[in-house]
Amino acid sequence: MYHRFARPASDPAPSLAPSAEPTPPVKVLEPPRSTDWSQPVQTVLDQPPSSLPFQLAIGGFAFATCFIGWAWLSQINEVSHAQGKLIPRGEVFKVDPIDTGKVARVLVQEGQPVQKGQVLLELDHEIAATEVDRLEKELSSAQTELNQTRMMIGQAQLQAAARSTMARSQTQAQSIELLKAQEASKSTETLVSQLQDETKAHQERLDRLQPLVSQGALPQEQVFQAEQAIRERERAMTESQGTLVRSQSESQRLAELVKQQQADEQNVQLEAQQQIEQLKLRQSQLQAKIAQIQTLIDTAKVKLKDRYVYAPVNGNISALKVHNPGEVVQLGQTIAEIAPENRPIVVSAVLPNSEAGLVKVGMPVQLKFDAFPYQDFGVVPGKVKQISPDSKSDPQLGQVYRLEIELDRTTVTKGNQTIALKSGQTATAEIITRQRRMIDVFLDPIRQLQKGGFNL
């Protein structure tokens, strides 16, 4: 483009005469040229073809047709989001502590499989263990004393039997001596009686001889012999009577000794029996004490066992309420929930109240598991199986509804790799509440604007 400079009317006409100074040449201003394009493109830009507007119109119409067709045919899902985790279907077993106490150790985690009887949680058991140790020591001491008492009973019985045997032997010996003394007394009595009879007979003979001697019929010598026989019999009788007295005294002494020996034997037996009875009484007391201590030990062991919380069934820990040592648990407090094994797994999810308006049973669900990125493993389809009738308060989400989502499959795949889902894994559930065409999404603002009118 060329530019001309106008001359003002008041300026004098130019002189045709040569001037002392030459007039500078007029510069022509040209549009700047871009150096970023190739020569053919630059030529098209500088000199566009006459059909370009028509081509642009055709291209715009084709693009608009394709876009409208895509917007008319394509659909978009409107979803409600819920957070949940996999649990076995059905009722879970709630685990409660049997005793109150402070948590010493937590031995399981959420989602962990457990076996029946496995220890889940350990309460502080120092006092209970100390009590069991004390009672076991007391039981050991009582059992030792009981064994000693039994030995003493056996020894006392043996000693009593030995003393009784000895006393019986002594009594029998004394009884034999007494019998001998009694036999000697009887013999002496018989001898005295015989001597008395002989003395009487000799006296009668002497009485018969004396008249005959006085008459001179018999010599005096026969009287003297008769008198001598009487004196010998009297002397023998006197000795026999002395022996009899001594024998009777010995018999009486032996009888008293036997009687005393029998009394001593009875006393020995009585003392031994009393000692044995006392030992048996002590034995009974110790047995009762041991039984009582054993009962206390059994009770203490039950209390000690109650300081451990055990799994009631085989399954998986679906919820764990206690996580750290030092927490205090109370009776009736649910510390864990166990989902029994061999049951189909479902997703138990919580749905915020703000997203629960359109959710109904049977709606399709797309599940994205946190352990398996959906970009690599995809999503797992499912459907809403159950919705809680009432909302419950959640400290983080406010009022929420409980959902149970049934899975169409329980595995995720990546290429040739197939991985089974496990109870306890968390997931995000996208519940498809409805499907809308893309064109409706674009037209909704215009429709809402039409309904509301144009307010300038």
pLDDT digits (tens, 9 = 90+) for 71-123: 666 666 677 889 998 887 777 788 888 888 888 889 998 878 889 999 988 88
Same-domain status, 336 and 272 = no
Q: Total structural domains in the chain? A: 3
At residue 453, the pLDDT reads: 55
Give a yes or no: residue 24 inside a domain.
Answer: no
Same-domain status, 292 and 364 = no
What is the span of the domain harbouring residue 337? 98-124+307-342
Among 370, 393, 386, residue whose Cα is nearest residue 90: 386
Same-domain status, 224 and 189 = yes
Same-domain status, 316 and 352 = no
Among 155, 171, 32, 87, residue whose Cα is nearest residue 346: 87
Residue 397 sits in a domain whose CATH number is 2.40.30.170
What does the alpha-carbon distance between residue 371 and residue 452 come to, in Å, rounded to a whole number?
47
Is the pLDDT confidence value at 138 over 90? yes
Average pLDDT over residues 50-55: 71
Give a yes or no: residue 146 inside a domain.
Answer: yes
Same-domain status, 217 and 246 = yes
Same-domain status, 106 and 143 = no
At residue 289, the pLDDT reads: 93
Residue 164 sits in a domain whose CATH number is 1.10.287
Same-domain status, 262 and 131 = yes
Instruction: Name every residue whose Cβ is closer than 8 Å to that of residue 28 and which is 6 or more positions away in sequence.
Output: 2
The token pair that represents 150 in the structure block: 């039994």
Given 342, 365, 400, the domain boundary residue is 342
Q: What is the pLDDT of residues 185-237, one digit of tens each?
A: 777 777 777 777 777 776 777 777 677 767 666 676 777 777 777 777 777 77
Give a yes or no: residue 35 inside a domain.
Answer: no
Give a yes or no: residue 15 inside a domain.
Answer: no
Given 246, 277, 303, the domain boundary residue is 303
At residue 292, the pLDDT reads: 94
Same-domain status, 202 and 147 = yes
Same-domain status, 183 and 318 = no
What does the alpha-carbon distance between residue 224 and residue 119 come to, in Å, rounded to a whole number?
126
Give a yes or no: residue 32 inside a domain.
Answer: no
Same-domain status, 145 and 268 = yes
- The values of phi and psi at residue 289, to 5°, are -65, -40
What does the alpha-carbon distance between residue 45 and residue 51 come to, in Å, rounded to a whole number?
13
Average pLDDT over residues 144-148: 93
Give a yes or no: residue 327 inside a domain.
Answer: yes
DSSP line for 368-394: EETTS-HHHH--EEEEEEEE-SS-EEE
Residue 18's pLDDT band (cuts 50, 70, 90)? very low
What does the alpha-carbon distance between residue 388 and residue 349 come to, in Å, rounded to a whole number?
11
Residue 12's pLDDT band (cuts 50, 70, 90)? very low
Same-domain status, 235 and 377 = no
Contact 375, 352 (CB under 8 A): no
At residue 420, the pLDDT reads: 87
Give a yes or no: residue 142 inside a domain.
Answer: yes
At residue 359, the pLDDT reads: 87
Q: How many CB atoms lie within 10 A of CB 339?
A: 24
Residue 325 sits in a domain whose CATH number is 2.40.50.100
Which helix or strand (DSSP H or E) is residue 428 part of?
A: strand 426-437
Q: What angle do CA 417, 421, 425 make, to 5 degrees?
A: 130
Give a yes or no: residue 37 inside a domain.
Answer: no
Q: What is the pLDDT of residues 269-302, one digit of tens each?
A: 888 888 889 999 999 999 999 999 999 999 988 8
Task: Provide the percentage of residues in the chain whose pLDDT is more than 70.
Answer: 80
Among 363, 334, 383, residue whose Cα is nearest residue 434: 363
Average pLDDT over residues 305-319: 85
At residue 176, the pLDDT reads: 82
Given 273, 303, 333, the domain boundary residue is 303
At residue 21, the pLDDT reads: 44
Same-domain status, 312 and 205 = no
